[in-house]
Structure 1
Amino acid sequence: MNDRFTLAVTGQSLIKHDIRDIPAPAFVEVQLLLRQADLSFTNFEGTILGGHGGWPLKGSFFGCSYPVVLDTLQGIGFQALSLSNNHAFDLGPSGVLSTLEEVEKRGFLHAGLGRDHGEVSRASMGTIAGRQVAIVAMDGGPGPDFMYASDADDNRPARPGVNRLRLSQVIEVDETAFDQIRAIRDTIGYTAIDLTNDSQPDDPQHPATDTEIGISRAVFRRSQSFGRSVKIDEADLARNLASIAAAAKNGSLVIAYLHHHHWASDWYQVPDWVSGVAKRCIDAGAAMFVSHGAPVLQPIEIYRGRPIFYSLGNFIFHVRSEKSTWTAPEVWESVIGVCAFAGDNRLAEITLHPVVIGGDEALADGVLERRLAPHLATGASAKRILRRVSEQSARLGVDIDISGDVGVIRF
């Protein structure tokens, strides 16, 4: 085993175009950074329109890409992909099969999609630069039940799909409001059969009898105050933790990955449940936890000497101006985290390299179609991005030393 192994992680890559011929020097520097790492990892935020065809299963937030985008990701330096996200099923099982076929054809180390539940539940493993690396990639939705992989039984064929961490959103209300909602339910005669019908095509949820009420797709929980929370399916989490533990037991450097859209109302706040999942993944043996979903850079935490990247925001983000609400500058800014591990998979150092999608000029002109490739940030932009992540991470006890255009976390 090599004494030192470097792993670069980036924001998610929602990619529609081949950007390899963009000559901007700041983009060339990004590619050099990715290629210099032993392994570079991103989330491919999409599905491939390939040999298996497919049909749109979404409305305005639908998206698919042609296989050339995988050549692009590989060409700029990525060797590992998460495929678990809210766009992975936008073409249905056909898109899942095309994505798997094209990703495997190019030799990516990948996780998060599978031809059935058994395949998607296993950690994906490979040997990179003499180091055994494994990925367990989950998606927390929200998404319909039918986007997640399932095994065959006597009555149903297997379904290709995404690796699930089932999460349920719960609306918390105080005692008075809870009693009012219960009275409304009872007055209109809303029954368990109604709940089942209204949940289709998904299976109905099963609210706790005394403390929760289900109406349509909403679950209300009796609480001391008003708020929202997320309920984690412990069986799903235990299955994924077992995959992490098995890979770690074999000596692999394990990347635990989660994509979700259960954000806090303030995108920069990390929900408690995410922190809990991240730490349980590390307790199970993961060398690092990486997450995407909230489209901004969130804080970094170090837990038991291992990094938690709560959200790395966007790295490639191909959206159209007339359809996008993602206009805040922070949506287009992130960092590349280069993590250096010692021979025993112990973290030695993290170097943070700030990026601006499209560069400062494209960020200023407001034309989203010009923001095609990530540029290495320098000067005031680099300081702004690093200062923001440094201030956020300091609240979690992480000290980021900013030197010039780079941030460093040392151990």
Structure 2
Amino acid sequence: MADAALPQEGAPGLTTLQVTLAAGGIYTAQSLVGGLGFMGIPAVLRDRGVPLEQIGLVSLLMIPWALKFLWSPWIERLRRPGNAAGRRSRGIILAGELLAAAALCAVGLLAEAPFWTIFCALLVLAVISATVDIACDAFLIEQIPKKDLGLGNTAQVGGGYLGLVFGSALFVYLAAVIGWAYAAGAMAVLLLVLSLPMALTPEPDVASAGRTNEPPSVLSALKRREIAFGILMTCVFEAGGRLVQVLSGPFLIDAGVPLGLLGLLNGSGGVAAGLAGTALGGLLVKKAGAERAIRFVLLIQAVILTMLTLAVFSDWVGPSGLVVLIIAKSAVMAATFVTLYSRLMTLVSPSQPGVDFTIFQCASALIAAVCGLGGGLLSGVAGYGASFLLATALAVLALLFQPAIERSLSRETLS
């Protein structure tokens, strides 16, 4: 278990600011691609009269993000060639971003193409983006000092929210003003601009303590108890928030919130809440450490979900109060991601950080899909109250289980 934690405190000559700016730019570019595929392009397609049945298939673009652990060992071997010195993370990331920009230009040329042609182009773009994410996560884990992981994860999650604005709102606006092709080209240029900090940042070699002759593999990761605990933490800590995440919009509509106001909340309000929660999570990790930060955020999450559940059953707040609670829930979810990712990054093996952290992210995508589907089905059968009550119970259980999970991890590390 000696390789369970990262041995280095950051690469000599590479500052935390350099790493944060480089990785943050890439994470923003990655989220731009996601926002474009899941929100921006579907909106434009619907405006052109594409049937909802076809647009709904865009959700299949999540598959590469859920399955990227399958090719993460190959990326890790390419990124760290044997026991040789040096890293190729930056080269993989920049090559991927160039391919993504080319794919975006291709999407722009397919403005009049059939839906399935556009879908295939978006699927290729999703595979490229998911692959870049593997290398970027490994770059961040290796190059940032362990004590500054919270700052790195703040850039990771915050970049995700900023990228959604570019890929959804900005793309839709540009498509309406200058047309699909030019809007896609603008997104490609913006993606390359966001990649510039990474292109200008060197990638020094790191401490050799994590090197091993064993090739990176998913199987070797799953044999380590730290990875099992990390998957457990991901599922338990995210389940409550994920269960009601997809229900927030429909719930507010049924509670009487106007559609226009809801659109504003999902746009600027959601981004502002996400960025605020991201900043809060990063500050908590910096001041208290990831373990205590997680505990505090889980407590806030349990309180907010309890208040929402009471609101569903007793109608003790009006629509405006529900809006405030939903925004608070969104902020807490962002803080949860920052604190959880900071903790998970300390559990990866230095011999294959890209593989290990990718497994955690795939677990997150899986729990999001399962809880989103489950929450919708449960609400359809038993009403919103049942889903919010279950989410509250899961949030309370996460708060109660967190100390036990940390004690088990401590015993594992000592052994």
The TM-score with structure 1 as length reference comes to 0.24
The structure in which a higher percent of residues are strand is: 1
The structure in which a higher percent of residues are helix is: 2
- Bigger relative CO (Cα 8 Å, ≥ 6 apart): 2
